[in-house]
């Protein structure tokens, strides 16, 4: 039987590998992402110079792809909160290998999403006015407050459980990395030695953050939805909007996590740690959230359609029959039905099937954000013919740049930081072992822990997984 | 046994009574004559009054307290139906008044039911004035205002700073007792500049600064809504492009160029530029009016058309209209139209 130490050594090697070895493919991919991001930045520079006239947005449809991207990425960022915080609070043991990925998706998606708010401004320099002249009665200011708080909290929440792993990088990576990079690890590892006092303080900090971040995350997507729901627009005039957006955020967050997980698993050979079980559990969670989304949609459209007030007619026609019908039905069938169908059919309930469903969910949710934004603005408030919105190449370029930027941040993160929570996983493995040992002692008293138990992890307050 | 019998007869009695009541409801209504009326036409955004006068068919006396229901018809995806707009009761003169808000252009058809055959009203609705002005919204906790928000957000940030402080404590953790070598290494680490310059202290410092900014923003934020006080809340244009455009009150100009220059300013102040572009070049919203004839510009400006508001003599006098046209004429040359 393999000892804990051998297991840990192998895990450590796997985790260190991305930082030690860089393949040519990595550079090629990095170059590709940099090129797309660069192209997006060029398009943005054009927009800054000439103004929003280079976009397809007008005075009537004043939000388009940018706000779609903003809502989409803020939604993605809920991956970390759900998987990491909720599962950590509930002591779900299987989560440990995927928490780190979920947490960095959160931080990276938030940065990307927040960036798109600035892109949507014709005069980005006036952003400062929100801080100088902001008033709390404005939903825009709620957004600024919530997103700022969430960004800080999620970076801290990404960082805290990473401290012991950063210390491990600091101690083990010295021969492979340059001096500045090593200094970076030293600074980030904040002198971590794994003493009992340090463990106590860090455990306490993690416990506070994992609970605090849940209400913050819910508030963020609620106020993002209120940006819409607080206006006099038929499509957005819904009491369910906050809940609907939060559910959609968690839904797309899980899907993104599945996709990122599958890619990293393949590239860095994490098959031993990220098992089909993880895909299956997350797939079930995703299907359950799809059910919640279908319910929310029915609730929303049936209550509006039963009464069928004047504005509803125009909205329903463009959404279900006319201009936006392909988008809507793609979202409903491709985005919401697919995960449920895939999870029901045994032959599709494989890693490949679940990842396919997750890709559909991500596309469906992006499309949903798009038609929520555009249909809402398209329904006229004044007696004019509705105008149409068609994104220009500048908008498409910046959007592509945004996706590339998101992937770029993940790619860089993976190269520099531990992609799995080594200490949490070791901790868990050790506990499993101890249980097993106790069990075995009852029979023959053999000591499998003779090689010694690694002692690296802080104890989260409230006890670890049983 | 008797109870069961009683129950059966009781049910039957209730059913019979129910049928009688249902029938009698219709019978009463048949005795009425109903006359309905509406204004000849309405303007969008107006609230008009639909009236129905109810008389007793036999005596000719007005009926008080008669209930009339107002419907509007809609078709969607091949399915048609009536939407109930509301109800109105007649007063002692037999007159029921229903306030109807005009929110759609075109011919409105309203069905009024009550007292025999339904009555149908039909009238056109054309473009009118301002459609909607939001009244002030609710305040969640009267009197408390922004302080509640400030306290909640402040509390969250205080907790986050507490977290930061406990991470600082991690970074300053004492070396493990009895291990000289590690204690020495620890000391080296600290003196290497990671004692204070480390993520823990920086994160905490950043959190304190951001929290301070947020609380300052909330405290500075004014406590009122401007549209709680619609006085001074007018619709005049506020956008002047880099101050290069003349105000309308600069006085009359003699020559065409000066006239066009004033017209250029008016084109912005009256909001034309909002849809037609600052140089009247046309946008995705509205075409360029530069090549239109004088009569056409005048006709559309005075009467409006779908998508474009009308401007009366009082709002935009003839001189100003001419100046705007002079500007358009000048632009026509520039744009080569």
pLDDT tens digit sequence for A204-260: 899 999 899 999 999 999 999 999 998 888 889 888 999 999 999 999 999 999 999
- On chain A, the residues whose CB falls within 8 A of the CB of B162 are 208
First-last CA distance in chain B = 99
Spatial contact of B90 and B52, defined as CB atoms under 8 Å apart: yes
Three-state DSSP state, B122: strand
Contact at CB, A136 and B149, closer than 8 angstroms: yes
Contact at CB, A191 and B172, closer than 8 angstroms: yes
Instruction: Round to whole Å and give the CA distance between A365 and A255.
Output: 10
Spatial contact of A429 and A8, defined as CB atoms under 8 Å apart: yes
- On chain A, the residues whose CB falls within 8 A of the CB of B182 are 193
Closest to B328 (Cα-Cα) out of B287, B271, B267, B268: B267
Q: What is the pLDDT of residues A367-405, one digit of tens each?
A: 999 999 999 888 877 666 788 899 999 999 999 999 999
- Residue A269: exposure state from Cβ atoms within 10 A (0-12, 13-18, ≥19): exposed
Rounded to the nearest 10 degrees, what angle do helices A96-119 and A241-267 cross at? 120
> At residue A12, does pLDDT exceed 90?
no
Contact at CB, A193 and B175, closer than 8 angstroms: yes
Q: What is the mean pLDDT of residues A316-335?
A: 92
Q: Which residue of A has its CA nearest to B166?
A: A201
Pull the structure tokens for residue B7. Answer: 């129950």
What distance lies between CA B168 and its chain's CA centroid? 50
Chain B closest-CA separation from residue A120 CA (Å): 19
Instruction: Please tell me whether the interface predicted TM-score (ipTM) of this complex is above 0.90.
Output: no
Q: What is the pLDDT of residues B38-93, one digit of tens each?
A: 888 888 777 888 888 888 888 888 888 888 889 887 777 777 778 888 888 888 88
Instruction: Round to whole Å and give the CA distance between B103 and B73.
Output: 14
Closest Cβ opposite residue A59 in set B164, B225, B285: B285
Contact at CB, A212 and B160, closer than 8 angstroms: yes
- On chain A, the residues whose CB falls within 8 A of the CB of B167 are 160, 163, 190, 201-202, 205
Spatial contact of A61 and A370, defined as CB atoms under 8 Å apart: no
> At residue B238, does pLDDT exceed 50?
no
Closest Cβ opposite residue B167 in set A152, A160, A309: A160
Contact at CB, A202 and B166, closer than 8 angstroms: yes
Residues 286-315 of B with CB under 8 A from A: 306-307
Q: What is the pLDDT of residues A428-452, one digit of tens each?
A: 888 877 777 776 665 554 454 444 4
> At residue A455, does pLDDT exceed 70?
no
3-state helix, strand, coil split of chain B in percent (to 5) is 45, 20, 40
Instruction: Round to whole Å and give the CA distance between B208 and A408.
Output: 30
pLDDT at residue B185 in the model = 59
- On chain A, the residues whose CB falls within 8 A of the CB of B198 are 187-188, 190-191
- On chain A, the residues whose CB falls within 8 A of the CB of B284 are 56, 58, 387
Residue B188 contacts A where some CB pair is shorter than 8 Å: no
Instruction: Round to whole Å and give the CA distance between A21 and B177.
Output: 37
H or E element that contains B52? strand B47-56
């Amino acid at each position: 039987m393999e000892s804990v130490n051998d297991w840990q050594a192998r895990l450590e090697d796997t985790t260190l590998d991305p930082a030690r070895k860089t393949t040519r493919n990595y550079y090629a991919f990095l170059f590709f992402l940099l090129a797309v991001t660069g192209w997006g930045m060029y398009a943005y520079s054009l927009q800054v110079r000439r103004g929003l006239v280079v976009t397809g947005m007008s005075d009537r449809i004043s939000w388009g792809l940018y706000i779609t991207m903003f809502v989409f990425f803020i939604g993605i960022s809920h991956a970390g909160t759900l998987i990491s915080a909720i599962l950590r609070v509930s002591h779900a043991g299987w989560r440990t290998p995927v928490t780190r990925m979920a947490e960095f998706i959160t931080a990276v998606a938030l940065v990307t999403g927040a960036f798109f708010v600035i892109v949507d401004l014709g005069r980005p320099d006036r952003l400062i006015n929100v801080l100088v002249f902001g008033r709390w009665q404005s939903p825009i200011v709620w957004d600024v407050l919530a997103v700022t708080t969430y960004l800080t909290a999620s970076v801290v929440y990404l960082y805290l459980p990473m401290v012991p792993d950063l210390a491990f990088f600091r101690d083990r990576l010295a021969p492979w990395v340059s001096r500045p990079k090593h200094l970076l690890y030293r600074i980030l590892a904040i002198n971590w030695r794994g003493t009992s006092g340090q463990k106590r303080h860090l455990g306490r900090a993690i416990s506070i953050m994992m609970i605090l971040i849940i209400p913050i995350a819910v508030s963020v997507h609620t106020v993002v939805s209120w940006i819409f729901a607080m206006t006099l627009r038929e499509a957005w005039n819904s009491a369910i909007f906050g809940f609907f957006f939060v559910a959609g955020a968690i839904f797309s967050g899980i899907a993104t996590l599945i996709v990122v997980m599958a890619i990293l698993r393949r590239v860095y050979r994490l098959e031993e740690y990220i098992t089909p079980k993880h895909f299956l559990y997350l797939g079930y969670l995703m299907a359950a959230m799809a059910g919640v989304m279908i319910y929310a949609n029915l609730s929303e459209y049936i209550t509006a359609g039963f009464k069928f007030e004047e504005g509803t007619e125009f909205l329903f026609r463009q959404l279900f029959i006319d201009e936006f019908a392909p988008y809507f039905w793609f979202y409903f069938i491709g985005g919401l039905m697919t995960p449920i169908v895939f999870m029901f059919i045994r032959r599709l309930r494989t890693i490949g099937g679940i990842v396919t469903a997750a890709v559909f969910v991500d596309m469906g949710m992006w499309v949903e954000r798009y038609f929520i934004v555009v249909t809402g603005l398209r329904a006229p408030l004044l007696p004019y013919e509705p105008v149409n919105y068609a994104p220009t190449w500048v908008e498409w370029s910046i959007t592509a740049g945004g996706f590339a930027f998101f992937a770029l941040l993940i790619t860089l993160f993976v190269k520099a930081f531990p992609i799995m929570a080594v200490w949490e996983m070791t901790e868990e493995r050790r506990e499993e072992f101890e249980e097993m040992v106790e069990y075995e002692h009852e029979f023959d008293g053999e000591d499998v822990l003779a090689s010694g138990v690694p002692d690296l992890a802080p104890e989260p307050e409230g006890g670890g997984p049983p | 046994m008797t109870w069961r019998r009683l129950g059966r007869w009781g049910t039957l009695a209730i059913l019979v009574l129910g049928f009688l009541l249902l029938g009698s409801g219709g019978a009463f209504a048949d005795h009425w004559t109903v006359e309905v009326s509406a204004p000849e036409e309405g303007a969008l955004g107006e609230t008009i009054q639909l009236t129905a006068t109810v008389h007793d068919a036999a005596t000719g006396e007005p009926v008080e307290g008669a209930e009339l229901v107002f419907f509007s018809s809609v078709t969607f995806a091949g399915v048609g139906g009536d939407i109930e707009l509301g109800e109105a009761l007649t007063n002692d003169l037999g007159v029921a008044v229903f306030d109807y808000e005009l929110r759609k252009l075109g011919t409105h058809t309203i069905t009024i039911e009550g007292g025999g055959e339904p009555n149908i009203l039909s009238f056109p609705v054309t473009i009118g004035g301002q459609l909607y002005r939001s009244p002030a919204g609710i305040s969640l906790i009267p009197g408390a205002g922004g302080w509640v928000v400030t306290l909640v957000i402040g509390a969250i940030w205080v907790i986050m700073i507490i977290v930061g402080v406990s991470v600082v404590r991690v970074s300053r953790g004492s070396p493990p007792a009895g291990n000289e070598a590690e204690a020495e290494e620890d000391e080296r680490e600290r003196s290497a500049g990671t004692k204070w310059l480390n993520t823990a202290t920086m994160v905490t410092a950043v959190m304190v600064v951001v929290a301070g900014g947020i609380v300052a923003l909330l405290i500075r934020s004014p406590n009122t809504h401007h549209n709680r006080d619609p006085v001074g809340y007018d619709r005049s244009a506020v956008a002047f492009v880099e101050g290069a455009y003349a105000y309308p009150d600069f006085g009359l100009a003699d020559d065409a160029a000066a006239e066009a220059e004033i017209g250029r300013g008016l084109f912005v102040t009256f909001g034309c530029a909002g849809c037609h572009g600052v140089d009247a070049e046309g946008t995705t919203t509205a075409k360029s009016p530069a090549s239109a004839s004088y009569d056409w510009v005048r006709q559309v400006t005075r009467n409006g058309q779908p998508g474009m508001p009308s401007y009366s003599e009082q709002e935009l006098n003839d001189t100003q209209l001419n100046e705007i046209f002079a500007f358009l004429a000048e632009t026509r040359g520039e744009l080569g139209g």
